[in-house]
Amino acid sequence: MSDFVIDYPDIQFARSRIRRQGVGPTPVHRWYAFEERSGKRGLQVYVKCENLTAIGAFKIRGALNAVMSLTESEARRGVATHSSGNHGTAVAYAARARGIPATVVVPENASPQKMNLIRHYGAELVTCESTQKGREETLARLVEERGRVPVHPYDHPAVMAGQGTVVDEFLDSVPDLDWLFVPIGGGGLISGTAVTVRSRRPRMRLIGVEPEGANDTKRSLEAGTRTPHPAPDTVADGLRAFVGRLTFPIIQKWVDQVLTVTDQEIRQAVRWGFEELRMVVEPSAATVLAALSQTALPERARIGVILTGGNVDPGLWASLQRDASGPGR
């Protein structure tokens, strides 16, 4: 038991709830090429493949848990969120699964592909100015005027508990993980992860990873209080969010270390995903591969990484491949 908004039983409950909706467990893969390169015979690297969920990202878990835990009267009001990325798709997917309406606020410059995907799952799209203020005001209006229930992308107990199911499955597959690398955007995934880990495997080393251009969590930990990055800018588009009010205290208490990686390192890691894991790894997910590869690792250990998603705009992908093809390995 803890002072936080979620506890391990919330995660166990979330897990059975989303399992009934056909989500999980995702496959666990090995990063054989990295193990080879390391030259350390006792090193094993396990990759939890959240790019292989129905929407290609772990976000399906939190959204589904949040939407499925609404009361009947809340559900009738429908849900709303703002997101131009995986959380928007996840909320649309979850609302369809429950058979209720969903509205997703997207910035007017969102990619047509992502908007198509959200529409595909039957959600209504409302465009807004592409500023944080524009998004929040539009969402607030939907909540006020149409009674929609907001589903925050990370600062929401049911969302955090849903994201915590990733590592709960991971520990069933590889019970003796020693280290775990997890990306940090708003902190939904790593806070749910931390709650699970400290209950099931308290001494595991838990490492958060941020892009250098959006290192608000690192800044916040150093300052001892939530401190935004003045102008987040990174190719890892899923990690630009500001660490949450609910997620930050959990990170403060239970995450052992936060590492940062540069955009150039992220691009190289996307290419490792392609060539060595034979998977599509979006930049936000590649951060953990980048961080792992620059960490001094023990001779003998089981290392886990959560590969959070595989949705990449084809144009961005092409540019990533071009940029990474300079002097490589």
Active site residue ranges? 59, 84
Q: Is 30 in the site for a copy of itself (CB under 8 A)?
A: yes
Show contacts with a copy of itself in window 34-63 (CB under 8 A).
36, 49, 51-52, 54, 56
Cβ-Cβ contacts under 8 Å for 69 (sequence gap 6 or more) = 17, 158
CB of 54 to a copy of itself, least distance (A): 4
Nearer to a copy of itself, 51 or 220 (CB): 51
x/- map, 94-133, a copy of itself, by CB under 8 A: --------------------------x-------------
Supply the Cα-derived Rg of the chain in whole angstroms: 19
Question: Shortest approach of a copy of itself to residue 82 CB, angstroms?
Answer: 24
The CA distances from residue 79 to 67, 98, 148, 200, 227, in Å, are 8, 11, 5, 33, 29
- DSSP element (H, E) containing 304: strand 300-307
Report residue 160 CA to chain centroid gap.
10
Q: Does 319 bind a copy of itself (CB under 8 A)?
A: no
Sign of CA dihedral 30, 32, 37, 41: positive
Q: Is 172 in the site for a copy of itself (CB under 8 A)?
A: no
Does residue 245 touch a copy of itself according to CB under 8 A? no
| Single residue of 108, 136, 176, 275 touching a copy of itself by CB under 8 A | 275
CB of 143 to a copy of itself, least distance (A): 29
Left if phi > 0, otherwise alpha if psi is -120 to 50, otherwise beta: which for 99?
left
Count of positions on this chain that bind a copy of itself (CB under 8 A): 26
Mapping DSSP to helix (H, G, I), strand (E, B) and coil, where does residue 212 land? helix
Q: CA–CA separation, 305 vs 56, rounded Å?
A: 16
| CB-based contact 32:40 (threshold 8 Å) | no
- Taking CB under 8 A as the criterion, the residue among 125, 143, 174, 279 binding a copy of itself is 279
Interacting residues with a copy of itself (CB under 8 A): 27-30, 32, 36, 49, 51-52, 54, 56, 120, 274-275, 277-280, 309-311, 314, 317-318, 321, 325
